[in-house]
Chain A
Amino acid sequence: MLSDEEARRYSRQMQLPEIGLEGQARIAAGRVLVAGLGGLGSIGAYYLAAAGVGHLRLVDRDRVALENLNRQILHASTDIGRPKAASAAEKLSRLNPHCRVEAIETDIGDDHAEALIEGCSVIFDATDNRATRQVLNSASVKKGVPFVYGGISGWEGTASTFIPGRTPCFSCLFPPMAETVEAEPPPALGPTAGLVASLQCLDTLRLLIGLAPRLAGRLLQFSGSAMEFRTLPIDRNPHCPVCSRLQCPSSP
């Protein structure tokens, strides 16, 4: 049941017929793991908290650095040196005191990824490398938790929503590979991260509300230099080392 204050806070989005009182209650019942609080996570966590997601679990191992601030707009100049998870939690609690925020300062490894997603209804991927996504994807498939992928580089971005057993998983498209030397961090532009994270938020909210996520079974590629979106239908990979053993549910 929403308080009067909450009903007013969310009134503009509750005007949407797909949301209304019931959808808002579902959003409030949602628990989302935000994996990474950099360029994507700053915007993703902010919009999810603002929209009234009841519980956000924020995970990042890093501390705020000066070169983050061109895009990681959840953090301020005065946060330099602070853990990103704590810095984010403070801003989000200030934005929306109804959102329960949990800040966890850790990396995301094979040994505890499943514990990190425990109880979560959605994984919001805001990590910055392929290997960590493989780890989160394996946990997603094992636990049956949807994985909302987004990635950026400079003017370009990629996104898709992976529903275990129903759509491809991250590893169907990007098979695990031995990490050679750690790649140089790619160029990063704030608005590109903001746009991709916003797309991820839309599908995250759809999942929480119970609507079909629009990037399920589609890979979206955005070019900010051409101002173009392209989407490519994607199928499950019968040779996927992570999810090929999962049965496709008979009902959608």
Chain B
Amino acid sequence: MSTTVRITVNGMPEDVPSSATMADLIDLFHEMDRDLIVEHNGRFVFPQEYKVIRVAPNDRVEFIHPNFGG
């Protein structure tokens, strides 16, 4: 039984633990930006959902760094 799933992170194929949450992925990919935005299968993920939403095979996850300079 496989313990990892193949997903796409920032356009690159990645094998991650099969029950990983968005919060786990943020740790795994060392996304330190406190302003980080997570996009999961084309949907904006609210920070309140990071520990709830889990990956499934072939998911697409993007980490977006919003900008606040002017």
Does B associate with A? yes
What residues on B are CB-neighbors of A133 within 8 Å? 68
What residues on B are CB-neighbors of A221 within 8 Å? 64, 66
Interface readout for A212-232 with B: 1 if CB under 8 Å, 0 if not? 000000010100000000001
A residues lining the B interface (CB < 8 Å) = 36, 38-41, 126-130, 133, 150-153, 156-158, 172-175, 177, 185-188, 193, 219, 221, 232-235, 237, 239
Contacting residue for B46 out of A127, A185, A219, A237, CB 8 A: A237
Contacting residue for A239 out of B46, B64, B67, CB 8 A: B46
A156 touches B39 (CB 8 A): no
What residues on B are CB-neighbors of A193 within 8 Å? 70
A239 touches B66 (CB 8 A): no
Q: Is B57 an interface residue (CB 8 A)?
A: no
What residues on B are CB-neighbors of A130 within 8 Å? 35, 68
What residues on A are CB-neighbors of B67 within 8 Å? 151-153, 156-158, 186
Contacting residue for B39 out of A41, A150, A232, CB 8 A: A232
* Interface of chain B residues 32 through 70 with chain A (CB within 8 A): 34-35, 37, 39, 42-44, 46-48, 64-70
B34 touches A177 (CB 8 A): yes
* CA A153 to CA B65, docked complex, whole Å: 10
B42 touches A128 (CB 8 A): no
A174 touches B35 (CB 8 A): yes
A232 touches B46 (CB 8 A): no
State the Cβ distance, B5 to closest chain A Cβ, in Å. 23
Question: Which are the 9 A-B pairs with shortest beta-carbon distances?
Answer: A128-B70, A151-B67, A153-B67, A186-B69, A151-B68, A158-B66, A158-B67, A234-B44, A40-B70
B69 touches A173 (CB 8 A): no
Q: Quick one: closest B residue to A183, CB to CB?
A: B68
Q: Quick one: closest A residue to B44, CB to CB?
A: A234
Chain B interface size, as a band, is 10 to 19
B35 touches A188 (CB 8 A): no
* CA A232 to CA B40, docked complex, whole Å: 10
What residues on B are CB-neighbors of A41 within 8 Å? 70
Known contacts A237-B46, A239-B48; decide if A219 and B68 are in contact (CB<8 Å): no
State the Cβ distance, A227 to closest chain B Cβ, in Å. 15
State the Cβ distance, B67 to closest chain A Cβ, in Å. 4
What residues on A are CB-neighbors of B47 within 8 Å? 175
What residues on B are CB-neighbors of A153 within 8 Å? 65, 67-69
What residues on B are CB-neighbors of A172 within 8 Å? 46
Q: Quick one: closest B residue to A186, CB to CB?
A: B69
What residues on B are CB-neighbors of A187 within 8 Å? 69
State the Cβ distance, B69 to closest chain A Cβ, in Å. 4
Q: Quick one: closest A residue to B64, CB to CB?
A: A221
